[in-house]
């Protein structure tokens, strides 16, 4: 028996090596085909368009979304198609004739594009397509002289950003300038005044407006406010500027004023027009208007002084019977003295126990629970009756009393909340001036320690005004508060100055969406879109949105549909004294149980 190994029969066959090479090539070809198939799947399922051009400015490859974004016919997306041909197609579809001049313009654009690419840096530009869409194009140069383009349809994002930026300077209800924008414009116009030029500031307060809200409801009141804004805008010149300061208070900047008579003439027309009856929601109602006027530079050369003196003149009109207009006079300063008297009363209000806190519940509609209460201050004035914070907090801020009053409110709110159910939080509004000193965190710690309230049950509400004045310092204070365990809430979101920037710069726990975005929510598609965008943005950032001022079932349903579960407003409960909080919570739970989720 031989021990020699016999050769494999197939290895001896002629051409067996070639067969092995062929199999290897076929296997590589199959792998390459499979890889190309997967590449095509990946390419055509990208969330962005992609196109690649070579150094000769010819198309190498593109995906389906690129064709879709530019609505290109298939023959223009074949490999080898010149960029010039694609651009000429776009120009022809836009209505440009392919004249020699037009072709020269297109070629100049292509050459400029090539110059920028040869610099070797990635760059972006925005394209506005004929159908209204907005595309962000990112150009990435390649080593061989070609490049890759990435196209992203940013239409919805851009429109949402523009809308939110618009909201930062406008009143969503009336669609005119808000307080910040009007003041910004006033400061600009004052700086732009030439020698011997004048401008007038008209401060306008609606008479008997509260009666409209009380008798016909807030929906009718909102309709009146919109009608008022339209009447004002149709009365002034294009060079004048109309804004809403808040509530039922408006202002107009009248440019190119020769003298006080010209300003008085406009005010008289406004009084007549605004006093005319209104037809809203099927009802006929009437209000009036009182106007106070100050003139620059006669009565002041800065925004604060002009607004203050227009307010003094307005107060005189309102105290003399309303429905008229008056220009500021130095003799009217008695009004200021009356306010000083109110200021003196305020100084002793704390010692006399005239200041009290009321609480308005905050509910979670989805969970069917009451999550917290907002503390709202009232002044039981011995002569004037119960005054809302708008009547005395500005005085407290101007006189420096806000520190003492704010510290009391903080301590009292913590003390009251300590007696509530353990899952209910308390939120306290802080004035911008309370952030000026560096001891706010100390006051918060003292209030928590004295009341034995857990830090996570205290929420501090801050308006954008506080951030605007001293943003860096305020953010540092807020970070100190968060380090203690206190939650921080951005108040009145949608009415202020730079909400988006603040959301990026600080990790707020919650944002309170202002009532101006809640009103007419179910009937206004634009408001619903903005509400959904704001709510979605907040949730994406891990911030809890709260809808303020919910008064109607339609507003509740609209806010819930937009994705906002937490709400507060008269629909659930008014603000009540501390002793009635348990009853208010129970009433809210009953209403929540009746709401179909």
The answer on 351 and 452 residing in a single domain is: yes
Contact present, 315 and 329 (Cβ < 8 Å): no
With cut-offs at 50, 70 and 90, classify the pLDDT of residue 53. very high
The answer on 233 and 127 residing in a single domain is: no
The answer to the question of residue 200 being in a domain is yes
Element (H, E) at 528: helix 525-540
pLDDT for residue 438: 62
Residue 14, token pair as written in the block: 């002629």
Among 306, 328, 350, the domain boundary falls at 328
Question: What would you report as the CA-atom Rg of the chain, rounded to the nearest whole angstrom?
Answer: 33
CATH of the domain at 469: 3.20.20.450
The answer on 396 and 291 residing in a single domain is: no
18 CB burial (10 A radius; 0-12, 13-18, 19+): exposed
Instruction: Specify the residue for token string 């994406």.
Output: 540
pLDDT for residue 202: 98
SS3 79: coil
Share of the chain above pLDDT 70, in %: 87
Among 108, 125, 153, the domain boundary falls at 153
The answer to the question of residue 267 being in a domain is yes
Residue 51, token pair as written in the block: 């196109």
The answer on 193 and 129 residing in a single domain is: no
With cut-offs at 50, 70 and 90, classify the pLDDT of residue 11. very low
The answer to the question of residue 139 being in a domain is yes
Backbone angles phi, psi at 552, to 5 degrees: -125, 155
The answer on 434 and 517 residing in a single domain is: yes
Q: pTM of this prediction?
A: 0.53
For residue 362, how many other CB atoms are within 10 A of its CB? 28
Q: Tally the domains of the chain.
A: 3
The answer on 91 and 238 residing in a single domain is: no
What are the tens digits of pLDDT across the range 114-168? 888 888 788 888 888 888 888 999 989 988 888 999 999 888 888 888 888 888 8
Rounded to an integer, what distance in angstroms lies between the CA atom of residue 237 and that of residue 254?
A: 8
How many whole angstroms from its chain centre is CA 485? 27
Q: Does 10 have pLDDT greater than 50?
A: no
Widest pairwise Cα distance in the chain: 137
Instruction: Specify the residue for token string 């490049």.
Output: 147
Share of the chain above pLDDT 90, in %: 44
Range picked from 68-82, 106-120, 314-328 for highest mean pLDDT: 68-82
CATH of the domain at 256: 3.30.70.270
Among 153, 185, 203, the domain boundary falls at 153
Range picked from 24-28, 199-203, 516-520, 561-565 for highest mean pLDDT: 199-203
pLDDT for residue 514: 83
The answer on 522 and 388 residing in a single domain is: yes
The answer to the question of residue 556 being in a domain is yes
With cut-offs at 50, 70 and 90, classify the pLDDT of residue 437. low
The answer on 379 and 303 residing in a single domain is: no
Q: Does 228 have pLDDT greater than 50?
A: yes
Higher pLDDT, 378 or 37: 378
The answer on 519 and 393 residing in a single domain is: yes
Domain that holds residue 185: 171-328
Rounded to an integer, what distance in angstroms lies between the CA atom of residue 319 and that of residue 335?
A: 10
Mean pLDDT taken over the chain: 85
What are the tens digits of pLDDT across the range 344-377? 899 889 999 999 999 999 999 999 999 999 999 9
Q: Does 215 have pLDDT greater than 70?
A: no
DSSP for residue 134: E
Q: Does 582 have pLDDT greater than 80?
A: yes
Rounded to an integer, what distance in angstroms lies between the CA atom of residue 2 and that of residue 305?
A: 120
CATH of the domain at 90: 3.30.450.20
Contact present, 50 and 152 (Cβ < 8 Å): no
The answer on 413 and 374 residing in a single domain is: yes
With cut-offs at 50, 70 and 90, classify the pLDDT of residue 243. very high
The answer on 279 and 190 residing in a single domain is: yes
Strand 355-364 relative to strand 576-577, pairing? antiparallel
- HSE-up (13 A, CA, CB side) for residue 181: 22
pLDDT for residue 112: 85
Strand partners, 123: 139
pLDDT for residue 16: 56
The answer on 302 and 261 residing in a single domain is: yes
Q: Write out 240-263 in H/E/C secondary structure.
A: CEEEEEECCEEEEEECCCCCHHHH
Mean pLDDT on 514-538: 80
The answer to the question of residue 584 being in a domain is yes
pLDDT for residue 12: 46
């Amino acid at each position: 028996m031989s021990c020699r190994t016999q050769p494999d029969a197939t290895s001896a066959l002629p051409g067996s090596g070639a067969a092995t090479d062929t199999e290897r090539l076929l296997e590589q070809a199959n792998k390459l085909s499979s890889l190309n198939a997967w590449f095509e799947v990946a390419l055509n399922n990208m969330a962005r368009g992609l196109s690649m051009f070579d150094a000769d400015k010819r198309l190498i490859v593109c995906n389906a979304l690129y064709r879709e974004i530019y609505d290109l016919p298939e023959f223009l997306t074949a490999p080898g198609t010149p960029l010039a041909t694609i651009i000429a197609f776009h120009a022809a579809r836009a209505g440009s004739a392919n004249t020699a001049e037009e072709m020269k313009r297109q070629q100049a654009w292509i050459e400029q594009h090539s110059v920028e690419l040869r610099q070797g840096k990635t760059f972006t530009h925005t394209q506005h397509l004929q159908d209204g869409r907005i595309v962000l194009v990112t150009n990435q140069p390649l080593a061989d002289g070609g490049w890759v383009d990435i196209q992203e349809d940013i239409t919805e994002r851009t429109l949402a950003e523009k809308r939110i930026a618009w909201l930062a300077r406008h009143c969503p209800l009336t669609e005119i300038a808000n307080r910040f924008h009007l003041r910004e414009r006033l400061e600009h116009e004052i700086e732009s005044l030439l020698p011997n030029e004048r401008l007038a500031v008209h401060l306008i307060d609606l008479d008997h407006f509260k009666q409209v809200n009380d008798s016909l409801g807030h929906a009718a009141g909102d309709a009146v406010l919109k009608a008022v804004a339209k009447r004002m805008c149709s009365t002034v010149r294009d060079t004048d500027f109309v804004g809403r300061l808040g509530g039922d208070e408006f202002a107009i900047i009248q440019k190119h004023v020769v003298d006080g008579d010209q300003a008085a003439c406009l005010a008289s027309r406004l009084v007549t027009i605004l006093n005319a009856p209104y037809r809203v929601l099927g009802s006929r109602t009437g209000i009036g208007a009182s106007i106070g006027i100050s003139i620059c530079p006669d009565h002041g050369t800065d925004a604060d002084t002009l607004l203050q003196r227009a307010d003094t003149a307005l107060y005189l009109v309102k105290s003399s019977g309303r429905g008229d207009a008056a220009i500021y006079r130095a003799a009217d300063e008695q009004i200021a003295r009356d306010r000083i008297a109110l200021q003196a009363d305020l100084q002793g209000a704390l010692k006399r126990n005239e200041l009290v806190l009321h609480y308005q519940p905050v509910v979670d509609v989805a969970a069917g629970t009451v999550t917290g209460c907002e503390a709202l201050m009232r002044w039981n004035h011995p002569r004037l009756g119960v005054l809302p914070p708008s009547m005395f907090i500005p005085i407290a801020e101007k006189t420096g009393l806000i520190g003492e009053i704010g510290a009391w409110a903080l301590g009292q709110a913590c003390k009251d909340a300590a007696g509530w159910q353990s899952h209910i939080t308390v939120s306290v509004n802080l004035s911008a001036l309370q952030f000026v000193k560096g001891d706010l965190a100390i006051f918060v710690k003292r209030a928590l320690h004295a009341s034995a309230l857990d830090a996570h049950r205290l929420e501090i509400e801050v308006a954008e005004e506080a951030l605007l004045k001293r943003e860096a310092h305020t953010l540092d204070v807020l970070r100190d508060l968060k380090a203690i365990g206190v939650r921080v809430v951005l108040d009145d979101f949608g009415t202020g100055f730079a909400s988006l920037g603040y959301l990026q710069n600080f990790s707020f726990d919650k944002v309170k969406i202002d009532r101006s975005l809640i009103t007419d929510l179910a009937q206004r598609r634009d408001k619903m879109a903005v509400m959904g965008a704001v709510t979605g943005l907040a949730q994406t950032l891990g911030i809890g949105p709260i809808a303020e001022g919910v008064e109607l079932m339609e507003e509740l349903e609209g806010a819930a549909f937009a994705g906002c579960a937490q709400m507060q407003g008269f629909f659930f409960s008014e603000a009540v004294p501390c002793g009635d909080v348990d009853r208010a919570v129970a009433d809210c739970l009953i209403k929540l149980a009746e709401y179909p989720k």
